[in-house]
Structure 1
Amino acid sequence: MSPTRMMILGLVSWLQPVHGYDVRRELLSWGADKWANVQPGSIYHALRKMSEEGLLREVATEQVGARPARTTYEITDKGRDAFEGMLRDLWWGLHQPPDPFLAAFSFLPALPREEAVAALRNRARLITAGVASVQASVDSFWIKSKPVNVAWMMELWVVRGEAEAAWCDRIADRIEGGASYLPAELSRGEGWQQWKARIDPEWTGPADT
């Protein structure tokens, strides 16, 4: 199930009759391309696809001068049922999006400690910069033209970002302080030697992990 489809159906239901351009502009003004992985280039395709599926209805197509033709959409009863089903699934379900960073972090021992520390602190700085940008939007006049839940959503983004940035700095401190990477049940005996060799084939002797 695609959050993009759910959001498009919801916006058409709210704004109908509405041009695809206005749906795209509204989604991007919410920053949905960042926190919901809404791809701007996929919005028009999704509108056409859902129209073919009977979830939306094309009510008019108009063209002004040399501008591209604009199609106006409305939601159908089938589309409204689909929207409500997807909406409730996302509200009541717990959906964890894949995070490529966690895949990399699972191989933490494969990085030199100094590089791991630097990467984590850099990640914290990037997240903090993003948080500041979102907070500026929350504090701006722009937010007054949006539904109040958009501001609340951005507050959640800020809280999550602040928490992750703090975690990055905390783990960087632990690594810099020499915290062991070893599973608790292993000692610096044969088991440790084998474990270290598995994660670093070039390792040939004692290491600081």
Structure 2
Amino acid sequence: MSTVRLLVLGSMLRRGVSHGYGVYNDLTSWRAETWTNVKPGSIYHALEKLEAQGLTRAEASEIHVKLGPSRTEYSVTEQGKAEFESLLRSALQSFEIQTFAVGIAFMDMLPRGEVIRLLSDRASALKESASFLRTLPTEEMPSEPSKHPELTGLWENYVSSELSNTLNLITKLEAGKYRFLGE
């Protein structure tokens, strides 16, 4: 799943209609580079691909800010909105921290109950993963990387931390924190 794709579609859906520079400004003002690996050039590449796949529609802007060619504005198609929602649902269950972060950024664009369910599914998968990691054999003098206690400990701590963060977020959402679609 592409975090760039999710970020670009999310920015455009929040704006309604946007040009590439507007999406770039959103991501810059959100400081997305601190919680994702998005590069400015990837925004324009994503816009081209989204349009080629029928997920966005491009039109020449009626507003001429400067002399020269008109700026292209994009809107998200119904197919693009469905793609965004699918990517968002996947992101809210992802173990990959940057993908999950983008899911959190746009979670308010789904109904609260659905977000809680998706996060609960993530928590269940994280619990299962943490349990599995605790069963892995380790060796004081590891014969292979998978048996290194520091490596398995690192992953167990990461998964346990993600589980704790996810459960805390679920508690906040169940208590009514934040505003979601339809509220």
**Matches of 2:140 and 2:45 in 1, distance apart?**
51
Q: 1:29 to 1:11 in 2, by over 3 A?
A: same
What amino acid is the match of 2:32? Answer: A
Give the gaps of 5 or more residues in structure 2.
Answer: 99-104, 107-138, 144-183
**Matches of 1:185 and 1:35 in 2, distance apart?**
36
Helix, strand or coil for the counterpart of 2:140?
A: coil
Helix, strand or coil for the counterpart of 1:92?
A: coil
Aligned to 2:73: 72
Percent of aligned pairs with the same amino acid: 39
Aligned to 1:57: 57
Per the TM alignment, residue 96 of structure 1 is displaced from its structure 2 partner at its CA by 5.1
Q: 1:185 to 1:68 in 2, by over 3 A?
A: same
**1:41-52 to 2 correspondence within 5 Å?**
41-52=41-52
Q: 1:47 to 1:185 in 2, by over 3 A?
A: closer
**Matches of 1:67 and 1:30 in 2, distance apart?**
30
Aligned to 2:10: 10
**Matches of 1:19 and 1:39 in 2, distance apart?**
17
Q: Does the 8 Å CA contact 1:4/1:38 hold for their aligned counterparts? A: yes
Q: 1:34 to 1:96 in 2, by over 3 A?
A: closer
**Matches of 1:65 and 1:47 in 2, distance apart?**
22
Q: Does the 8 Å CA contact 1:33/1:40 hold for their aligned counterparts? A: no
Helix, strand or coil for the counterpart of 2:38?
A: coil
Structure 1 or 2, whichever has the larger Rg, is: 1
Aligned to 1:90: 91
**Matches of 2:75 and 2:44 in 1, distance apart?**
14
Count of matched residue pairs: 104
| Cα deviation digits, residues 7-42 of structure 1 (max 9, x gap) | 110111110111211110010111112211111111
What amino acid is the match of 1:36? Answer: T
What root-mean-square deviation, in Å, do the aligned CA atoms of Structure 1 and Structure 2 show?
A: 2.5
What amino acid is the match of 1:24? Answer: Y
**Matches of 2:82 and 2:141 in 1, distance apart?**
53
TM-score scaled by length of structure 2: 0.50
Give the gaps of 5 or more residues in structure 1.
Answer: 98-148, 151-182, 192-209
Helix, strand or coil for the counterpart of 2:61?
A: strand
